Structure 1
Amino acid sequence: MSSQSARALSSHDIAEQQQKKPEPKSKAGLWIGGIAFTIVFAVAGFALSAIPGFNRVGPMACAIILAIIYRQIFGYPEKIRAGIQFSAKYFLRFAIVLYGLKLNVDVILNQGLWLVLRDTGVIVFAILATVWLGKRLKADSSLSLLLGVGTGVCGAAAIAAVAPIIKAKEEDTAIGVGIIALVGTIFSIIYTIIRPLLPLSAIDYGIWSGSSLHEIAHVALAGAPAGPDGLAMALLAKLGRVLLLVPLCFILMYWMKRKSADAAGETKVDFPWFLVGFILMSLFGSYAVGTWVPVPAIVLDGISTATTFILTSAMVGLGLNVSLHDLRTKALRPLMAMLITSILLSIITFIIL
C-alpha cells in the first residue's frame, strides 16, 4: 500500500471517528430526556392529585393514569426508553430505601410487639387468600401475588419491593399499584363513613384500620376521625406490617430459588440490596434521628415528600408499559380476588378485636 493511500485511509478513519463522537452525547441527551419525561409526569400527577376527588387517589395512581393515557394515544416514547427504564428501576429502589425512614423500629419493639404478631397473621392471610382466589378465578398468578403482598403489607411500596424478587413484569407492577390505590382509597373512605356507627373505642378502631387497610396514607385517612390516640394506634399497627416486609422479601427469595431450581436447575436470584438500605435507614431514623443527629421536623417532612415524588416518577416508567387491552384482560380477575380478600380481611380483623 502506498504512503498516499495510507494517509488517505487514516484521514478517512479520522473523519469517521469525528462523525461518531457526537453519538454518545446524543444518547446521553436522550437518556436524560427519559428521566426528565418521568419527572414531568410525576409533577403532573402531584398537580392532578391536588384536585378534589383525585386527592383521594394520590399522586402515584394519578401519574400512572396519565402515563397509561399517554401510551394509548402516542405510543411508547422509544427514543428515550433508556432514561425511562432507569427511572422505573433505580428511582424505585432509591425510594424504597428512603421509605425506611418512615418505619420507627423502636416504637414497634417497645410498644407494639403484640401487634406484629397480629400483623403476621394479616400478611399470611392476605397473600394466601389472594393467590388462592386468583387460581380459582383463573387470574394471572404473578399479578395475584403482587396484589396479595400489597394488601397484606403496605400497598405500592411492598409491590415495588417484591416485584424484582419474583421477576414480575413492569406492566404487572404498574397495574398492581393502580388497583391497590383504587381499592385502598375506596375502603378508607368507607371506614371514615361507618366510623360513627361502629361499637368500637378510638383505640380499637385505630387497631382495626391499621391492621386491615392497604397503604399508610389510607390508614392515616381512615384513622384521623378517631382522634390522636386512635390515629397513633392505627399507624403503629400499620408500621408493624411495614416491618415485616423485610423477612417477607427473604422468604420470597428462598421460594424463588427453590422454584427456579426445580424448573431449570438454576438457583440464581438477584439479591435485593435496596432492602439493606431500607433496614439501615429504618435504624437510622429510629435511633439516630433526634438523638445523635438533630433533624428538624420540616426536613423529615421534606424527605417524606421527596420519597413519594421519586416513587411517583418510577411509577410513570411502569405505567408506560401498560396496554389497555392487557389491562382489560388481565386486571379484572386479580382485582376481584383482591377485593374479596380485602373484604374478608376487614371482617376478620374486626371480629378478633
Structure 2
Amino acid sequence: MESQYARVNKEPIQPQIKSTSFRQWIGGIAFTFMIALLGYLLAKAPGFDHVGQLASAIVIAVLYRQFFGYPELIRSGIGFSSKRLLRFAIILYGLKLNIGTVLQDGLGLIVRDAVVIAFAILITVWLARLLKADKNISLLLGIGTGVCGAAAIAALAPIIKSKDEDTAIGVGIIALVGTIFAIAYTILRPFLPLSDIEYGIWSGISLHEIAHVALAASPGGQDALAIGLLAKLGRVFLLVPLCFLFMYIMKRNGTREDCSETKVEFPWFLIGFIVMSIIGSYVLGTSIPVSNEFINSVSTLTTWCLTAAMVGLGLNVSLRDLRMKALKPLIAMGITSICLSILAYFIV
C-alpha cells in the first residue's frame, strides 16, 4: 500500500508539469514572434527591403537552426505557430478578398486567372518530372506561382500532406523569385508597348504575391495598380475551389494506390477564409462602418501571424537537405515563371 508520505509528495507533480508545459508553449510562440521581429527589422535594410518581412524571417529561422539546432524545449509553442497561427492567418487573409468587386468587374480576368493557374501548376510539375526534381516542393511552387504565393502554399500544404520543411522551402523560394520578377517588371515597364491598364493586368495575372503585384504595378500609376490588384484578387478567389479540387485528387489517388480511401483532413480554415471574405465584402464598410486604420491593423496582424508561422516552418529546414532538394524545383519554377510572364503578356 502506498504510504501517505508518498501520496503527499506526488500530488503537486501534475500541476507542476502542466505549468512547465504551458511556459514552454508560450515560450515557443514568443520565440517565433521574436524572430519575426528580427525579420521585420532585417526587411528595413537595403536589399532586403525588396525581399520583405516574410522571407527575411525565414532566412533568420533557417540560419538559427543550422547554428544552434532546433529548440526542442519549446517545440510545442513553435508547432502551434507553424500550424494553428498559420491557419488563423489564412482566415484573416480572407478580408483582403472583395468578392463583390471580383464578381462585378473581374469576371473576364477570372477566366485568364484560371488559365494562368492551370498553366503554372501543370508546367511546373511537368518540368519537375523532366528534371527529376522533388515532386512535393515542385507542386507547392507551381501552386504558389499560379495562385498567390505563400498564402496558397500554406493553404494547400496540409491538404497534400507536405512536410513543414518542404513548405518552408517553397515559401522562401516563392518570395525570392517573386521579388526578382517584380523588380524586373519595373525595369521593363518603359520598354513595353502596353498601356497602363494592360501593364497592370499583366502584372496581376503573372506575378506571385500581392506584394509583388503592388511593387511592379505602381510605376504604371493608380489605374495600373488598381486593375493589377483586381486581377490578383481573382487568383486568390480561385484558391478555395483549387483546394477542394486537390482534396478530391488526393482521395482518388489514395483509393487507386492503397485500395483504400486516403483520409484527407477537411481544411476547416478555408470555411473561415470564405466567411471572412463575405464579411469583408458585404458587412464591413456597409452594414458595419469601419475605418481604414482598422483594416490596416487586421492586415498587419495577418502579416505578423503568417510570419511567425513561417518562422516555425523555417526552423525545420536543414541546409543540407535544402541543397539537395531545392535546386531542381527552383529551376523548374524559374522556367515556369518566365513562360508564364510570356503567356500573360500575349493574353492581356
Q: TM-score range, shorter-chain basis?
A: over 0.9
Task: Give 1:310's match in structure 2, choosing from 286, 302, 305.
Answer: 305
2:331 counterpart letter in structure 1: M
1:319 matched residue in structure 2: 314
2:240 counterpart letter in structure 1: V
Consecutive unaligned residues of structure 1, counting only runs of 5 or more, are 1-5
Distance 1:306 1:46 in 2: 13
Task: Give 1:87's match in structure 2, choosing from 76, 81, 84.
Answer: 81
1:191 counterpart letter in structure 2: Y
1:292 matched residue in structure 2: 287
Distance 1:301 1:254 in 2: 36
Alignment of 1:60 with 2:60, yes or no, is: no
Question: What is the aligned length?
Answer: 347
Task: Compare CA radii of gyration and give the structure with the larger one.
Answer: 1
2:335 matched residue in structure 1: 340
Deviates more, 1:111-120 or 1:10-19: 10-19
Alignment of 1:182 with 2:176, yes or no, is: yes
Deviates more, 1:253-262 or 1:92-101: 253-262
SS at match of 2:49: helix
In the TM superposition, residue 71 of structure 1 has moved relative to its aligned partner by 0.2
Task: Give 1:192's match in structure 2, choosing from 159, 165, 186.
Answer: 186
Task: Give 2:63's match in structure 1, choosing from 49, 69, 85.
Answer: 69
Contact 2:149 2:208 survives alignment (8 Å) = yes
Distance 1:19 1:161 in 2: 40
1:120-169 deviations in Å (ceiling 9; x for gaps)? 00000000000000011000111111000000000000000000000000
In the TM superposition, residue 300 of structure 1 has moved relative to its aligned partner by 0.3
Distance 1:72 1:330 in 2: 16
1:48 matched residue in structure 2: 42
Contact 2:112 2:347 survives alignment (8 Å) = no
1:21 matched residue in structure 2: 15
Distance 2:37 2:12 in 1: 39
TM-score by length of 2: 0.98
Distance 2:300 2:6 in 1: 54
2:346 counterpart letter in structure 1: I
SS at match of 1:257: helix
Consecutive unaligned residues of structure 2, counting only runs of 5 or more, are none
SS at match of 1:232: helix
In the TM superposition, residue 20 of structure 1 has moved relative to its aligned partner by 4.2
SS at match of 1:21: helix
Residue 19 to residue 240, structure 1, CA distance change in 2 (3 Å): closer
In the TM superposition, residue 14 of structure 1 has moved relative to its aligned partner by 2.1
2:208 matched residue in structure 1: 214
SS at match of 1:56: coil
Alignment of 1:266 with 2:261, yes or no, is: yes
1:250 matched residue in structure 2: 244
In the TM superposition, residue 352 of structure 1 has moved relative to its aligned partner by 2.2
Distance 1:281 1:156 in 2: 19
Contact 2:201 2:228 survives alignment (8 Å) = yes
Distance 1:350 1:12 in 2: 77
2:144 matched residue in structure 1: 150
Alignment of 1:352 with 2:326, yes or no, is: no
In the TM superposition, residue 299 of structure 1 has moved relative to its aligned partner by 0.9
1:220 counterpart letter in structure 2: A
Contact 2:85 2:309 survives alignment (8 Å) = yes
TM-score by length of 1: 0.97
Distance 1:22 1:346 in 2: 58
1:68-101 deviations in Å (ceiling 9; x for gaps)? 0000000000010011001000000000000000
Q: Identity of aligned pairs, percent?
A: 62
In the TM superposition, residue 268 of structure 1 has moved relative to its aligned partner by 1.6
Distance 1:335 1:133 in 2: 11
1:237 matched residue in structure 2: 231
Distance 1:34 1:189 in 2: 35
Alignment of 1:103 with 2:108, yes or no, is: no
Distance 2:125 2:267 in 1: 23
Contact 2:168 2:313 survives alignment (8 Å) = yes
1:3 matched residue in structure 2: none
1:117-136 map, 5 Å: 117-136=111-130
2:27 matched residue in structure 1: 33
In the TM superposition, residue 302 of structure 1 has moved relative to its aligned partner by 1.0
